[in-house]
A and B are shown apart, each in its own frame.
Chain A
Amino acid sequence: MPAYSHKIELRLAELLDDQGAIREDGVRRLVDMVASSMRVAEDKGVEEVLPFATSAVREAANGEEVLKRVERRPGGAAGALRRRRGPADLSGSPPLVRLVGGRLLLLDIGGGSLEIACGVDEQPDAAVSLPLGAGRLTAGWLPGDPPTADSVRALRRHVRAQIAARSATWPRSACPTMSSVPPRPSSSWPGSPARPGRPTARTRSAG
């Protein structure tokens, strides 16, 4: 259990311009968020800050410039945001760390990217990051509320082409026996009701 949690949703992947750069309002939000978070950390007596940037920043056309602006802020996390995400890191999956036997396929659907990794312990045998985050795709492919059937179909085709290009060459030795998805919408992910009698052991836990 965390002693304290402070979270601000930026959804940067939804704030990209035509060139794939984070728009000015998004950059301002990010800079302000880092500054206010550093203040919160001070207030709570935090000894060490471990900043990291997800693909929404890492893969943005103006990512470098954005990071510089974050670092320029006094009290900003100098240099630290450069410890960027990826390739997908299985240590982010606690079930895997404690899994005994059996391979695990990790699917992490974020706002900016889809991370796919597979292995038996913390070091993945195979890992890939695709620009298929839910926020990025929603902003780029699904205008309208609800979106048109055509746009849904087009996005479905795009997603599957991107994944198939990787899954076709995925090492067979790294085939999954189970998998994990940590999206925000939690346990009610459509199509994945808890079912008893799973074939493989799993550990979820502990925290």
Chain B
Amino acid sequence: MPRLAAMTTAQRAILPGVSEGRARQLLAGALVADGAMDLFGVRELDICPWALREGVILRRLDQMEGVS
């Protein structure tokens, strides 16, 4: 975390997997992840590529199945 905090946006953008558009937000996101993991007692996370959009689609598909 200290290393990340000392990096500029341009430096963060070079990190593997970090897009240019998200580089500026990376530190804040990391502080949130770190705090949440610590306070909820979670030692590991799985990264999930799906998020809200996929949830909305899944829910809609469920409804469609219910109708037919």
Contacts and interface: CB of A to CB of B under 8 A. Distances in A.
Contacts, number: 178
Interface stretch (A38-46, A71-79, A184-192): A184-192
Contact of A187 (B17, B53, B58): B17
Given A91-B59, A185-B17, A156 B35 contact: yes
B17 A204 contact: no
A95 to B, nearest CB: 6
Nearest to B6: A146
By size class, the interface of chain A is 35 or more
Contacts of A145: 8-9, 24
Interface of A: 9, 11, 14, 48, 50, 52, 54, 85, 89-95, 97, 105, 107-111, 114, 116, 132, 134-135, 137-138, 141-142, 145-147, 149, 152, 155-156, 159-160, 163-164, 167, 170, 175-176, 178-192, 195, 198, 202, 204, 207
A167 B29 contact: no
Please provide the 3 A-B residue pairs with the shortest distance between their CB atoms, ordered closest to farther. Answer: A92-B55, A188-B17, A134-B29
Interface string B16-28: 1111011011111
Nearest to A90: B55
A101 B35 CA distance: 26
Interface centre among A159, A170, A176 (most CB of B within 10 A): A159
A134 B25 contact: yes
B19 to A, nearest CB: 7
A160 B36 CA distance: 8
A85 B55 CA distance: 11
12 contacts: A135-B25, A138-B27, A146-B7, A159-B35, A163-B36, A170-B40, A180-B47, A188-B18, A189-B30, A189-B45, A195-B44, A207-B54
Interface residues of B, number: 51
A71 B42 CA distance: 42
Contacts of A186: 17, 47, 49
Contacts of A167: 36, 39-40
A189 to B, nearest CB: 6
B46 A179 contact: yes
Nearest to A151: B5
A206 B15 CA distance: 27
B67 interface: no
A109 to B, nearest CB: 5
Contacts of A159: 31-32, 35
Given A52-B52, A109-B29, A147-B27, A185 B45 contact: no
Interface centre among B26, B47, B53, B59 (most CB of A within 10 A): B47
